[in-house]
Chain A
């Protein structure tokens, strides 16, 4: 096994008393002394600071100088309208494969003369190879290796960041722009992975520790680890790549077809033209045979990843399985997401999950489990 990498913020985490664990090739903080439960709840009431520097930051620049050419090139790999993305705006996208499965999910921002992409840590090498293979004729592909990425999330995030630069308060959900923080140029988006209002901040490595220390010095801002990040995103109904979506799940099965704008669907001006378009367009018309759903166990026992799901309390074949499951501190009970056969996928359907050999009742429920609080 290769050596685990450290982010620029490693020493800060250790100094704060974090428990460090291996994650996607990096040593990352899974929790701080506050503990997962309190960190989760703090992020919902105050503000939480997350190190997400392990994620990949990539810039695509059009070789022609016309951003539309980079946008159209990237559209060959994602079923999303990049051309329509206005300057200073960001949107969710997915890289699909020829089978209509999902190679990764990512954020794409239009920053005037270039596109700025944030991809998952575990996928970033493969994503880069994929982009180099398919976009090199049209784009300069620049991997950002000298910037850290941190997220500031929660109802206190706006006031905290605005105390460093009032312009942060003027941004709305999915805006992405340059904001000067402590004298350095930061690339800030109003987005995140918690269901809370908040920001993701790309900051030069040399200033990353100082920025984090300044944010943590603000009353109500606490560091939050990967443990709470997972329960926060699950309460918000957000997919974890590798668990809830992967190369075997299509966007329609994964219930993320909302990310596919009309212009890329059948009848649209730029319909298809991405890997797996035949299957994805067909499923957009006719639906898929299974679907990602929210699951609320009736009891207190969590139904974790891999829990097999059934339609009845005994007998019958499995109808699906859980892909993420945990205890939701803000909803005060267990929650899961997973895939079930489409005939069992309606909200309110009673199903059963096999936990330690016993079939336990659960109810399909809409997501997010806890309403999101984005500043639209």
Chain B
């Protein structure tokens, strides 16, 4: 698994990049009460705001971690936003992206680097 400084995790499954937020981020946000995922088949650029999360505290944007196309979204989060707190790296996944070159993930932090980052 790879990580961004925006506290997203990225995992490759079937040549697609699955994206969610880390357990650390979900703890910081507090109880999540609303998630708005984008439409599938949306072309995005890195740092585009693609997901809106509202917690009991505030609204936050999740940015596209890479250039690519969002091909699948986790629509179950709209009815069950709490999944992001309960299982951030499992049922709390947010979207799957198709990217041209998977090697761009190598530029991101690995788990050890991320743990150091959140220190």
Contact surface of A with B, Cβ cutoff 8 Å = 31, 35-38, 227, 231, 300-302, 304, 326-327, 334, 356
Report whether B78 and A300 are in contact in the complex, using a CB–CB cutoff of 8 Å.
yes
With the chains together, A326 CA to B30 CA distance in Å?
13
* Residues of A close to B36: CB separation below 8 A: 301
Smallest CB-CB separation from B36: which chain A residue? Answer: A301
Smallest CB-CB separation from B49: which chain A residue? Answer: A356
A-B contact pairs, 23 of them (CB 8 A): A31-B30, A35-B30, A35-B31, A36-B30, A36-B31, A36-B56, A37-B56, A227-B30, A227-B56, A300-B33, A300-B81, A301-B52, A301-B54, A302-B33, A302-B34, A302-B54, A304-B58, A304-B59, A326-B56, A327-B33, A327-B54, A334-B34, A356-B52
With the chains together, A138 CA to B53 CA distance in Å?
55
Among A35, A227, A300, which residue has its beta carbon within 8 angstroms of that of B34? A300
Report whether A36 and B57 are in contact in the complex, using a CB–CB cutoff of 8 Å.
yes
Q: Which of B2-45 contact A (CB under 8 A)?
A: 30-31, 33-34, 36
* Residues of A close to B52: CB separation below 8 A: 301, 356
With the chains together, A97 CA to B96 CA distance in Å?
57
Report whether B34 and A37 are in contact in the complex, using a CB–CB cutoff of 8 Å.
no
Residue in B31, B56, B58 whose Cβ sees the most chain A Cβ within 10 Å: B56
* Residues of A close to B78: CB separation below 8 A: 300
Smallest CB-CB separation from B56: which chain A residue? Answer: A36
With the chains together, A170 CA to B71 CA distance in Å?
63
B111 to chain A, nearest CB (A): 25
With the chains together, A318 CA to B84 CA distance in Å?
35
Smallest CB-CB separation from B57: which chain A residue? Answer: A227
* Residues of B close to A302: CB separation below 8 A: 33-34, 54, 59
Smallest CB-CB separation from A19: which chain B residue? Answer: B30
Report whether B31 and A37 are in contact in the complex, using a CB–CB cutoff of 8 Å.
yes
Smallest CB-CB separation from B35: which chain A residue? Answer: A300
* Residues of B close to A304: CB separation below 8 A: 58-59
B56 to chain A, nearest CB (A): 4
* Residues of A close to B31: CB separation below 8 A: 35-38
Smallest CB-CB separation from B54: which chain A residue? Answer: A302
B29 to chain A, nearest CB (A): 11
Report whether B59 and A327 are in contact in the complex, using a CB–CB cutoff of 8 Å.
no
Smallest CB-CB separation from A36: which chain B residue? Answer: B56
19 more contacts with CB within 8 A, not counting A37-B56, A304-B59, are A35-B31, A36-B31, A36-B57, A37-B31, A37-B33, A38-B31, A227-B30, A300-B34, A300-B78, A300-B81, A301-B52, A301-B54, A302-B59, A304-B58, A326-B56, A327-B34, A327-B54, A327-B56, A356-B59
Q: What are the 5 tightest A-B residue pairs by CB atom distance, in nearest-first order?
A: A327-B33, A37-B31, A36-B56, A300-B34, A301-B34
* Residues of B close to A35: CB separation below 8 A: 30-31
Smallest CB-CB separation from A299: which chain B residue? Answer: B34
Smallest CB-CB separation from B52: which chain A residue? Answer: A356
Smallest CB-CB separation from A326: which chain B residue? Answer: B56
With the chains together, A136 CA to B56 CA distance in Å?
44
With the chains together, A231 CA to B57 CA distance in Å?
10
* Residues of B close to A300: CB separation below 8 A: 33-34, 78, 81
With the chains together, A37 CA to B59 CA distance in Å?
16
Residue in A31, A35, A301 whose Cβ sees the most chain B Cβ within 10 Å: A301
A140 to chain B, nearest CB (A): 43
B75 to chain A, nearest CB (A): 13
Smallest CB-CB separation from B58: which chain A residue? Answer: A304
Among B54, B56, B59, which residue has its beta carbon within 8 angstroms of that of A231? B56
With the chains together, A35 CA to B36 CA distance in Å?
22
* Residues of A close to B30: CB separation below 8 A: 31, 35-36, 227
With the chains together, A28 CA to B59 CA distance in Å?
22
A199 to chain B, nearest CB (A): 25
* Residues of A close to B56: CB separation below 8 A: 36-37, 227, 231, 326-327
With the chains together, A327 CA to B81 CA distance in Å?
12
Smallest CB-CB separation from B59: which chain A residue? Answer: A304
* Residues of B close to A327: CB separation below 8 A: 33-34, 54, 56
With the chains together, A301 CA to B34 CA distance in Å?
6
With the chains together, A31 CA to B56 CA distance in Å?
11
With the chains together, A227 CA to B55 CA distance in Å?
11
With the chains together, A334 CA to B59 CA distance in Å?
13
With the chains together, A344 CA to B31 CA distance in Å?
33
With the chains together, A227 CA to B56 CA distance in Å?
8
A369 to chain B, nearest CB (A): 15
B86 to chain A, nearest CB (A): 12
Smallest CB-CB separation from A333: which chain B residue? Answer: B33
* Residues of B close to A231: CB separation below 8 A: 56
* Residues of A close to B81: CB separation below 8 A: 300
